[in-house]
Chain A
Amino acid sequence: MAGGSVTTGAEGSVLLKWIATLGLLIVVAIPCLFIVVQAIFPEFGSGSFAAPFSLFFKTLSDPALFGMAGNTLLLGVGTVICAAVFAVPLAALRALYRVPGALIWDGLLLIPFMIPPYIAALGWIMTLQPRGYLEQVTGFNMASLLFSVSGIMLIMGLNTFSVVYFVLSRTFETIGARYSDVGRVFGAGQWRSFWRITFPLAMPGLAASLLLVFAMSIEEYGTPAALGRRIGFEVLVTGIENRISEWPIDLPGSATLSLVLVGMALVAFMVQRWLLNRRDYRIVGGKPQASDKRSLGVWAVPATLLFAFVALLATGLPILAILATALSRTISGGLKPSNMGLDNFRELLGAGSDGLIALGNSLMLGTTTALLAGLLGAITAYSVVKGRGRFRIVLDALSITPNSLPGVVVGVGIILAWNQPWLPITPYNTPFILLLAYVCILLPQPVRYATASLHQLGDNLESAARVSGAGPLRAFTRIVFPLILPSMVTAMILVFAVASRELVASLLVAPVGFQTIAVYIWQQFDQGSAGLGMAMAFCAVLITTLIPLALISLLRWLTRGSVAGLS
C-alpha cells in the first residue's frame, strides 16, 4: 500500500473484470493477433515459424498493393467529396432557412441509414445498367457512369451523405442559436455571421463526420464488389476477400493487406477522435434551440426542388428499383403491368424455402448478437470506467479496436484463428463463428452507449449501495445495470439491425450451406435471380427497421416515461 497510487475501497467487481478481459481476448484480441502472426510468419498455417517477414515485405512492395491502396484512398476521398457536396448545402439551408416540408425531407433522408449499402448498390445496378429501368422509362443509358470510378463514388456518397447532413444541420442550428446570433447583435449580417462564426465553429464536427464517411467507404465491401469488379477497380477490401476466398488462397497476403487497411482506418478513427475530444469545441451538441429562421422568399421553390432531387436520388430510386425488381416476374420482361406480381415474394416466403430459413437464421443471429454484445459491452464499459492504471488502458484499447476493424478483416482474423488444424474443438463451420464475427464488429456500439450512460450516473449511486451492504457484484446487478439498461436496449436494437444483414464477414465465415439474409441476397444476384434477391432485400429492410421501431415503442409504452433515457 505504498503512497503514490490511489487505492479505492470500492473497486468494481473482480468477476466482471475477468469476464470483460476474457471476452475481449476471445472476441477481439485473438483474431487481431492471428492476422499479425500470419502476416509475419507465412508458414504459420502449417505450424512453422520459418522465414519470418519473407512474404511481408514482398507483399508490401508488390505493385498490386500500391494499386489497391491507391484505389482505396481514391475511393475514400472521392466519396467524402461527393458526400460533402450533397450534405453541406442542404444542411446549411435546413439550419438557416425555413425550408418547406423540412421534417418530411429529414424523414426521407433518414431512410438511407436503413438500407444496407450493398442493397442500394444492387438497386442502382438495376436502374442504370443497359436496358435498366432508367433506359426503359426515359430512354437514357447511363451505364457508362454506373460502371466507372466516379459512379462508385457518387453511389457511395449518396449512401453516406445523410450522416454528414444530420450532424451538420444540427451543429449549424446549435451554433447559430448560441453564437451566431451574438454576432448579429454586434452588427454582422446573417451570411457574414454564418461564414465568420457558425462555419468555423462547425468545422471540427464537419471534419469528424467526413472522416466517418471516409472510414465507412474504405471499409465497404458490397458496392465496390458489385460495381468495381466489372471494370477491374480493385480496392483493399475486395482484394482481401479475393485472396482468402478464391483459389489460390493467399493467407499471408490477405493478412498483410488487412494490416494496411486497418492502418488506414485507424488513422481516420484517431484523427476523428482527436477532433471530437478537443476541448475548445465542446459547445457542439445539445438540443438546437428555436431560432428565428429566415424565409427563403423566391428561392423557396428551387430549394424545395433541390431537397426533392437529392431525396429522390438517395432514397426514392434505390427503394423503387428494389421494389420494381422484386415485383417483376422476369427481369427481361421489363416494367410492364403484365410482368408485375407477387411471385418472388411467394417463392421467398413459401413454407420451407431457403429464403425463409435464411431469414430465420439472421433474426436468430441478430438477436443473440444483440444480447451478447450488449452484455459484454456493458460489463466492459463498467470495468473500464471503474478500472485503474495499465489494466484499464488495455481494456479500453481492446474495446475500441473493432472501430477500425473492417468486417472483411474481422472475417480474415476469425478464419486464421479458428480454422487452425491443430485446434481440438473449434466453432469454425458452425453458426457460432458468425456470432463471434458479429460481436467483434459491433461491440463498439454498446460500449459507447454504456460508457456515456455510466458517466451520467452519479458515483454516489453505487457508493450508496456499497455502504448499504451490497458487494461489488450485487451493486452492479441491482443498481448500475438496471440504470444503464434503457440506453443498452437502444444499443442492442442498433446491433440487431446491423448484425442481421451484415454482408462481408458472413460471406467469409458462414458455414457451408448456411445462409443469412445478406448471403442469400448476394448469391441470388450472382446466380441471376435478382428478383428473388430483391424480394429478400425488401423484406430485410422492412424487418430490420420495423422490428426495432416496434420494440422501442413497446418499451416506451411499458415504462411510460418512468425510466429516463428512452428517447
Chain B
Amino acid sequence: MSGDPKLERIAKGNALALCATGTWTASFAPALERMVADAEKLAGSPQNIFIDVSEVAKLDTFGAWLIERLRRSLTKGEVEAQIAGLSANYSSLVDEVRRVRATPVVETSAITITGMLEQIGRAVAGVGGTFAGLIDMLGAVLAAGAHVLIHPRSFRLTSTVHHMEQVCWRAVPIIVLITFLIGCIIAQQGIFHFRRFGADIFVVDMLGVLVLREIGVLLVAIMVAGRSGSAYTAELGSMKMREEIDALRTMGFDPIEVLILPRMLALVLALPILAFLGAMAALYGGGLVAWLYGGVDPEAFLLRLRDAISIDHFIVGIVKAPVMAAVIGIVACVEGLAVQGSAESLGQHTTASVVKGIFFVIVMDGVFAIFFASIGM
C-alpha cells in the first residue's frame, strides 16, 4: 500500500512517460518537491509527455498539487503534458487543484531607506496623536464626571468599590513591602556615607525629605502604573476585542461612564492612600535601619524627624498623587480602547500603557518640582 514515492522516466516511441509510483502525500512532500523540480527541467523538450499516475498508491492535496504543478510547467506552447491513468477515487481531487490559480503571494517589500524614513515620520506624527488622544480622554472623563454629578443615580458605586479593592486594598502588601525595603536601603546608604563626616544624624533629614517629597509618591505611582495601569489596559482591551464595549454602546450606556469613570475614580482615590502608606513604611524601614545599623535610637530619630520636616514636605508629596493617578488612568484607558483584534495588539498596547504611564509620571514629577520650587515650598 505505502512506499516511497518515485517518478520514473520511460521513453515510449516519440513520447515520454513520467510514471509516478508510491505514496504521494504530505509526509513525503520534501522528496516529492525535489523530484518534481527535477522533472520540470524536461520542459521544452519536443516530445509529448504523459504523467502516468496509475501506480500511485495514495494521493492527497500535496501530491495532487505537485502533479498539477508538473503538468503546468511541462505544458509550454505546442507541447501539452497530460495526466494519464487517474483512478476515479482521485479524479475529483485533481480537478479541485486544477482550478487553483498559482498566484504568487506578494511578499511585503524589503526594508528601504524611504520606508524607514516613512516610519520615522509616522512615529513622530504619532506623538501628536498620542497627546490628542490623552486630552480627548481627559475631556470625556470630565464630561462623564459632570454628568454623574448632575445625575448621581447613574454613578456606579459597586464598580468603584470593586476597583478600589483591586487597585488599593490588594496592592497594600506589595507597596508597603517595597517602600519599606527602599526606606531601609536609603537609610543604610545615608549612614554609610554620612558616617565619614560624623554626620550620621542627618540621615534622618535626608530620609524624611526624600521619602515624603519624592520617593514615596514616585515609587508608588510607578508601581501602580505597572500593576493597575496594565490591568486596566488588558481588561478594556479584551473587552474591546470581544465587542463588549460595542454591546454597551448599543444598549445606550456610555462606556466612559460605565467602565472608565469608576476605574479612574478608584485610581485617583487609591494612589494618595497608597502613597501615604508607602511613605510611612519607608520611614519605618529607614528608622529601623538607623537604629539597628546606625545606632540612632527611635527617640532621637523621631526628635530629629520633627525638626527636619514640616507639613509642607508631606503636602508637596501627597498633592502629586491624585494627578499622577489621573495620568496613569487616562493613559491606560486610551491604550485599552486602542486595542485591535489580535492578541499581539493587546500585548503591544499593554506594554505601551505601562511605558507611557511611567514616562508621564516622571515628567509630571519634574513639572511639580519646578512648580514647588518657584512658589517656595
Q: Do A and B truly interact?
A: no
Using CB atoms and an 8 Å cutoff, list the residues of chain B in contact with chain A. Answer: none
Using CB atoms and an 8 Å cutoff, list the residues of chain A in contact with chain B. Answer: none
